[in-house]
Chains A and B, each alone.
Chain A
């Protein structure tokens, strides 16, 4: 069974631009979560989607948004990029249910210049 895939793997943008990251979950997984990882703040929860609905959101500004499609694929968008948005963005998928064991993708490394 294929794992979680994220595209692109690496991205370089300049301040003020916007970016869209994509995540394809493991087949059959309907829950997708996004995380931001930086050396200073560690791993921080961005949002969780299930059945095209955002069920939870972390403490990030409105410039960070996401969505989930009917095939469970998810996209994350960051508008008006700032230098501090440089990070590894990780997507994780899980089966719906109590345990919610998450399987992570390889991440997208975003660099903002």
Chain B
């Protein structure tokens, strides 16, 4: 069965430093997508970055990069130059399925709460 594991319930990072949030996944489907979302205290989920299972290069979006290690089934999020506004809950998610044959199902990890210290 598909599964997403985030082993860090909470993380602290000093402002302006980089931080890595861990995510491992398990799936038997060769076609899948991996996402990271940020959820501030307001509750809204904000899309950060996407990595497709067939993508050859690691995804990057501004200060966010995804360290995709397919053989190890890991998709860690790296935030460079942390800012106070980065303090939030971060969720790793995996989408399985094929659009043409039946649509998608997305599952989320338990999340990691990031605290950025001034």
Contact = CB atoms under 8 A, between A and B. Distances in A.
Q: How would you classify the secondary structure of chain B's contact residues: helix, strand, loop or mixed?
A: strand
Interface string A83-113: 0000010101000111111111111010000
Interface centre among A50, A88, A99 (most CB of B within 10 A): A99
Interface in A11-70: 31, 33, 35, 42-45, 48, 50, 55-56, 58
Contacts of A90: 45
B90 interface: no
B105 A56 contact: yes
Nearest to B100: A98
Interface centre among B52, B95, B106, B107 (most CB of A within 10 A): B106
Q: How would you classify the secondary structure of chain A's contact residues: helix, strand, loop or mixed?
A: strand
Contacts, number: 63
Contact of B43 (A48, A97, A99, A106): A106
B44 A105 contact: yes
Nearest to B6: A42
A103 B47 contact: yes
17 contacts: A42-B108, A43-B93, A43-B111, A48-B103, A55-B103, A55-B104, A56-B102, A56-B104, A58-B105, A96-B99, A100-B95, A100-B104, A101-B35, A104-B44, A104-B45, A106-B44, A107-B43
- Please give me the 8 A-B residue pairs with the lowest Cβ-Cβ distance, nearest first: A55-B103, A104-B45, A43-B108, A56-B105, A106-B44, A56-B103, A42-B110, A100-B104
